[in-house]
Amino acid sequence: MIWEDLKVYSPLTKAELKPAFKEFTKIIAANLKPFGFSLHGRKLVAISNDLLHIIHIDTRGSWAGSNEYFKIEISLVATSDKSPITRDFGLTASRRLEGIVVGIRDHSRMTKEYDLLADFLQGKLLKK
């Protein structure tokens, strides 16, 4: 089965969220490793010529604690940029994944089908 074919998504309990987010990030990192990306916390980073390619998988949740929603930001930063991270922990010159890949449905919610979602998202990231 693939992500695009899913009609029903199974929610995770609060206790299942943290391990699922870690595994989700590891799956994407493993799939992008052949393309030069390495995992640094919640960020995947690759260097080509004089650019840093940064993919930030933000799973921090809200002030109320972890929740099932996450966001993905993508940024290209010159290696000469001394501070690619802004004061609010965002990336300079970043765009959210929704702005790059049009038509992604229900991608920002962690469900039990996260392995299918990870494969789907990394495919979209590589295309764009």
Contact 96, 73 (CB under 8 A): yes
Contact 89, 54 (CB under 8 A): no
Model pLDDT for residues 5-62, shown as the tens digit of each residue: 888 889 898 889 889 999 999 999 999 999 999 999 888 989 888 888 888 888 876 6
Is the pLDDT at 103 greater than 80? The verdict is no
Specify the pLDDT at position 109.
Answer: 82
Is the pLDDT at 84 greater than 60? The verdict is no
Neighbours of 46 (CB within 10 A): 15
Strands 71-78 and 51-58: antiparallel
